[in-house]
Structure 1
Amino acid sequence: MGGVTGPVLRADATVLRANIAAVTARVAPAELMIVVKDDGYGLGAAWAARVAVDAGVRWIGSYDIPTAIQLRAEIGDGPRLFAWVTSTDDEIAAALHAHVDLGVGSLDYLERVIVQADASGFRARIHLKIDTGLHRNGLSAAEWDEGVRIALDAQHRGMIDLVGAWSHLAEASDAEDDAAQARFLAAVARAEELGAVLPHQHLTASAATWERPELRGTLVRVGAFCFGVRSAGGPDLPGIAPAAELLAPVTRIEGDVAVIAVGSFDGLPSTLAGRIRVGTPAGPRPLRDIGIDEMRLEAWDSAAPGDEVLLFGRGRCGEETPTTLAEAIGTVGEEILCRLTPHVHREYR
């Protein structure tokens, strides 16, 4: 350890590739779509997408169209990109030009995509969303037939390709997820009765994908688990480890306290103080205080300025993971990663 002058979030491509391999093996024969929303959970969406494509992943989920456009420039034309947030007409046009698959969850959005496809001459690839009970966007059961018919008519006229159906699960209980899957499969069956061919069917995200294989479709959307962030309160995941670690140097020693160059200004929740231990060259030490730009912890016998402290990581110096930090303050591991500001330098290995 040694050499950093400020906080560093160090992302490890070897770990990310290993996580992707573990998820891919777990979900087969379904295909993995790695989700890189929130700038790749704070690690860098472009970096994560490049690593994933090099590891053989053929689908990248970006959430929004602007991110998908940036990723297309990074990873080339081969991999499929999927963006599902409802967007402006200009963004739709840009997505079609970049051959981004679009998740469509309302009749209005469907009509706007068709208009943009007709105007641009680029054929849109559409995944139609059915609301399975979460009420997080999606066509209602009453709208489904109309949406499918509109899409198939536009497909016949050469404007779009209806290639998939998708939805979200609440993951509140197995019974609710079973009911959601039943609604999803009924919608898929009805679309097929109307003439749709839907090779890409995706319902599950990280937790349900991992734990409930019977809910998987032909495609699964996994974000957090690929980055080594397990569900808060959930079990450890075999073959999965945090893909990044946060470290910062000791700036000075004040009696029995080591002062570290990272604080709440950098995005570290101040409520972690007194709740966790961090990793030092001498093993784990209690975190005493988190100020605006510094934190304090119990010093060790040989502590000196320049020593590196691990705030979270994979446990190599006794530090906790992003998920265990999150559990200590009642949130989720993604928040610990995504809160880190641009002031925290990103380093890639």
Structure 2
Amino acid sequence: MTLPRLVVDLRRLRANIRELQRRSAPAEVMMIVKCDAYGHGLERVVTAAAAEGVRWFGAFDSATAVRARAAAGPDARVFAWVTMTRSEIAAAVRAGVTLGVGDADYLERIVEVNQRRPQPVHLKIDTGLHRSGIRPEQWTEVVRRAAELEAAGAIRVEGIWSHIAEVSDRDDDLARAAFRDAVQRAEALGLTPTVRHLAASAAGAARSEFRFDLVRFGAFAYGIRSVGAPPPDDIALASTLLAPVIRVDAEAVTIGIGSLDGLPSTLAGCFEVGTAAGARRVLRIGPTESVVRPWPRAAIGEEVAVWGPGARGELDATSLAELIGTVGEELLVRLSPLITREYRAGRRPGAG
């Protein structure tokens, strides 16, 4: 093996999904598949999740949503929440994608583009995160307009949703109160949303009062824990990043992965890879190669584990991310698409 590869353990992924379904019940799970399913490969991830009974997929943008729809089949629901251009809206509507709406202008643009059956939408209230969403002082006006459009058969307001910061319980509790108030005001103005969703991975796993009808699980489904927190019980990283040894000398071992592959150069000197002889520190990270402290009998073609179960210590992506002040999902989504993704349903890579 002369190139790095990401080995995705589909058995582990499906086990993570089952655990999140158990924790969330009776709320449903929405599997977030943005950024090519966090770098794991969208089609294989969607197929695995659908086999576990997942009916909702969160796709962020139109192109990803259309891919998710094709992989999930006609019975699944696909939700995309980024504000789109008219051509992107048209593609999403044709594919039967539910659209998240965070401002009044976007709602009007959807109606202008859609000339078919009523388009399902989820209205987003800004509950304090300011990531996007309809401001509380504008909520009544937008809801009234949505009710008019629904009565005219242009849209169907299927859901109401929001994001929360998941930084402190106090802030999240305030956001939850704002969310509940927004739902009540919408219902008072004649809307009948059947899907309410507020929580993502951390709150969805830990706090039942945030689950409502649907929980959006992104990072946790792939075994990526939150920064500064232990991983949830029975959730584990579903991928292992492996890199080949390409040169060996007395002073160092060179492995075939670098910053152009998505390994941040700022990690140099900060972490250890897993080898047949145990952990060895990474000394330098170049564009296509990295230098590691040597070990006895290192051989060209041997593979080392950068992270994952094969790292002989279960080194996870978030642990690496914390070393450079970022989050675990960033390391996965920045991996080059040229890195081979391999899929296994049995024994974990590097075990033994």
TM-score over 0.5 for the pair: yes
- Please state how far the C-alpha of 1:315 moved relative to its aligned partner: 4.8
Deviations 1:214-254 (A, max 9, x none): 12211111100001100111112211111111101111211
Name which of structure 1's ranges 171-180 and 313-322 shifts more when overlaid on structure 2: 313-322
Work out whether 1:96 is the aligned partner of 2:93.
yes
Work out whether 1:224 is the aligned partner of 2:222.
no
Counterpart Cα distance in 2 of 1:84 and 1:323: 25
TM-score by length of 2: 0.94
Name which of structure 1's ranges 292-301 and 32-41 shifts more when overlaid on structure 2: 292-301
Q: What amino acid maps onto 1:68 in structure 2? A: A
Counterpart Cα distance in 1 of 2:162 and 2:332: 26
Partner in structure 1 of residue 262 of structure 2: 267
Partner in structure 1 of residue 205 of structure 2: 210
Contact 2:240 2:310 in 1 (8 A): no
Residue-pair matches, total: 344
Counterpart Cα distance in 2 of 1:282 and 1:263: 22
Counterpart Cα distance in 2 of 1:46 and 1:152: 36
Work out whether 1:47 is the aligned partner of 2:44.
yes
Work out whether 1:280 is the aligned partner of 2:284.
no
Partner in structure 2 of residue 34 of structure 1: 31
TM-score by length of 1: 0.95
Q: What amino acid maps onto 2:168 in structure 1? A: S
- Please state how far the C-alpha of 1:188 moved relative to its aligned partner: 0.3
- Please state how far the C-alpha of 1:212 moved relative to its aligned partner: 1.9
Q: Which sections of structure 2, spanning at least 5 residues, go unmatched?
A: 345-352
Q: What amino acid maps onto 1:71 in structure 2? A: A
Counterpart Cα distance in 1 of 2:209 and 2:232: 19
Partner in structure 1 of residue 148 of structure 2: 153
Work out whether 1:306 is the aligned partner of 2:297.
no
- Please state how far the C-alpha of 1:343 moved relative to its aligned partner: 2.8
Deviations 1:46-65 (A, max 9, x none): 22111111111000000011
Contact 1:104 1:138 in 2 (8 A): yes
Counterpart Cα distance in 2 of 1:122 and 1:96: 10
Written as runs of structure 1 = structure 2, the 5 A alignment for 1:136-285 is 136-285=131-280
Q: What amino acid maps onto 2:104 in structure 1? A: L
- Please state how far the C-alpha of 1:319 moved relative to its aligned partner: 5.5
CA RMSD of aligned residues (A): 1.4
Contact 1:96 1:122 in 2 (8 A): no
Counterpart Cα distance in 2 of 1:155 and 1:308: 57
- Please state how far the C-alpha of 1:316 moved relative to its aligned partner: 5.1
Work out whether 1:129 is the aligned partner of 2:121.
no
Residue 113 of structure 1: SS of its match in structure 2? helix
Q: Sequence identity, in percent? A: 50
Counterpart Cα distance in 2 of 1:211 and 1:99: 32
Q: What amino acid maps onto 1:263 in structure 2? A: G
Counterpart Cα distance in 2 of 1:148 and 1:257: 64
Residue 78 of structure 1: SS of its match in structure 2? coil
- Please state how far the C-alpha of 1:32 moved relative to its aligned partner: 0.5
